[in-house]
Amino acid sequence: MGVGSFGSKVRGAASRVLREIRREWKAFVAISTGVTVQAIAVTLFILPNRFPDLGVSGIAVLSNYVFGVSPAWVILTINSLLMIWAWKELSPRFVVWTMWAVLLFSALLKGFEYFPVPVIGDRFMAAVLSGVIRGLGAGLIFRVGGSTGGLDIPGLALRRRYGIEMGQFSIYINMGLLSLSFFVVGLESAIYGAVALYVYGIVVDNSIRSFDLRKQVFIITNIPERVSEFINLSLNRGTTRFEGVGGYSGQIRPVLMTLLDPRQVVALKKYLAANDPTAFMSVSVASEVLGKGFKSWKSL
C-alpha cells in the first residue's frame, strides 16, 4: 500500500468521524463531559490515595503503583486491542464513540500528570466522592450509547442481550480485580476501593434509570378528543386510543395511553381536574422508553 493510498484512507476515516460528530453533537458533548469527569476523579481521588480502580483502568492503576508506568499508556494499549474485537462484534457507531472516549481519557490522564493535585485527608470521603463522580460520568456516557472501553464493552453487550444491569456486572467482575489489588495496595486501600466500587455501581444504575424514566399514563375521560388535543399540542406528546368496555356498566369507553415526564404528568392532572373531574387516570413508571421523542434506537 502506497503512502498516498494510506493517507487517503486516514483522511476518509477522519471525515466520517467529523460527520458523525456533527450529526450527533449531543452524544459528543455527553461523552466528552462524562470522560472528563471520570479523568478528574481518577486524578484527584484514586491515584493520590493509592486506591485500586475498576476494569482496564484498574489494571493501569496497579501498573502505575508497581512499575511506575503512566496509566494513560496502559489504558490506550489494552483498549486498542479490545477495539479490534469490538469492531467485529458491535456497531460502528459504538466503536467510533468508544474510540473517542478512550483517546480523550488517556490524553486527559497524561495531561493531568503535569498539574499539582491536592490530597484529601479523609480517605473514606475520597472513596465515596470517587464512586459518585465516576458513576455520574459513566451514566452520561451510557445514556447516549457510548462507552469508556475496557469492561464496558462486554458489559454493554450483556445488558443489550440479557438485560443485566451495568452496575451489577461491574461489581461482580471488579471484585476479582480488587482481590488481586490487596497484594499491591494493602487491606485498607482495598477496602476503600471496594467502597468506591459499590457507590459507583449504585450511581451508574440510578443515573441510567433516571435519564430513561418516564410515566406511562392511562386516561378514561368523557372528553377524549379534548384531552388528546391537550397532550398533543400543549405537552407535545403522542397518544394512543383504545376502545375499552366497562366491566360493570358494559359501556364502551375510549381509553387514552401516553408517555410523559413527571412535570407533564402534573400539567395533565391539573387539566383533567379543571375540565373533567370525573375522569379516571392511572400513572405508572416506564423505566425505559424507546422511539421517536424518547431514547434513540441507535443508543442500543
Query: What is the reported pTM?
Result: 0.63
pLDDT of residue 167: 61
CB atoms inside a 10 Å sphere around CB 187: 9
H helix runs in 42-165, sequence order: 55-67, 71-89, 92-112, 123-143, 152-162
**Is the pLDDT reported for residue 288 higher than 60?**
yes
- For the four alpha carbons of 117, 121, 122 and 127, in that order, the dihedral sign comes to positive
H helix runs in 113-230, sequence order: 123-143, 152-162, 166-185, 187-212, 224-229
Most confident stretch, 111-125, 206-220, 279-293: 111-125
Q: Out of 10-24, 33-47, 195-209, 264-278, pick the least confident.
A: 10-24
**Is the pLDDT reported for residue 156 higher than 80?**
no
Q: What is the pLDDT of residues 18-44, one digit of tens each?
A: 776 677 778 888 899 999 999 999 898
pLDDT of residue 57: 81
Nearest to 261 by CA among 242, 237, 232: 237
Q: What is the pLDDT of residues 74-85, one digit of tens each?
A: 888 888 877 776
* CATH architecture of residue range(s) 213-299: 2-Layer Sandwich (3.30)
Please state the domain extents for the chain.
3-211, 213-299
